[in-house]
Structure 1
Amino acid sequence: MKLKFVIPNMERTFGNLEYAGEGNVEQRRVNGRLTILSRSYNLYSDIQRADDILLVLPPEAGEKHFEVEDKVKLINPHITAEGYKIGTRGFTNYILYADDMVKA
């Protein structure tokens, strides 16, 4: 069985989410033109306080403009896990995806 993604209980896992700023825009050249593949944003959580939460949105969601610390809500959130190795040790990155992000 392969783990494709996990649907989190948003309230228990992240609590209240606040916009913390823009991340990266992933682009690729297709037929000589730059095409946006995804946009990432940083979020604050009142439960997950150690690090900012990285959210990845598809290009269909469009560019988001919020004020810092605006409360936001995610549409169709899911989490994936990516494993990687450094030397002989294994690590996991958890990545939060959503179809869209709206003001709460």
Structure 2
Amino acid sequence: MKLKFVIPNMEKTFGNLEYAGEGNVEQRRVNGRLAILSRSYNLYSDIQRADDIVLMLPPEAGEKHFEIEDKVKLVNSRITAEGYKIGNRAFTNYILHADDLVKA
């Protein structure tokens, strides 16, 4: 069985989300032109307080412009797992994806 994604219970997992700023834009050169593959945004959570939450959006969602600490919500959120190893140890990055990010 292959883990494709997990659909989180947003209220229990993240609580209230606030916009914390833009992250990175992943681009690739296609036919000599730069194409955007994804955009990331940082979010604050009142439940997950240790770190900012990094959200990945597809290019179809467009660029987002919010004020810092605006309340936001995710459209069709899901979490994927990405494994990697360092030496003899294995680690997992959990990546939050959504189809869109809108004001709450």
**Cα-to-partner distance string for 1:12-64 (whole Å, 9 max, x where unaligned):** 00000000000000000111010000000000000000000000000000000
**1:65 CA drift (Å):** 0.2
Post-superposition, which runs of at least 4 consecutive aligned residues in structure 1 deviate over 6 A?
none
Displacement of 1:8 in angstroms is: 0.1
Cα distance in 2 for partners of 1:50, 1:83 equals: 21
Give the corresponding residue for 2:95: 95
The residue number in structure 1 matching 2:74 is 74
Percent identity for Structure 1 against Structure 2: 88
Q: Which residue of 2 aligns with 1:22?
A: 22
Q: How many residues align?
A: 104
Give the letter for the 2:15 counterpart.
Answer: G
In structure 1, stretches of 5+ residues that fail to align are none
Structure 2 length normalisation: TM-score?
0.99
* Rounded Cα–Cα distance in structure 2 between residues aligned with 1:36 and 1:90: 30
SS in structure 1 at match of 2:60: helix
Distance 1:49 1:72 in 2: 16
Q: How far apart in 2 are the matches of 1:39 and 1:99? A: 11
Q: Where does the alignment leave 5 or more consecutive residues of structure 2 unmatched? A: none
- Does structure 1 residue 49 correspond to structure 2 residue 49? yes
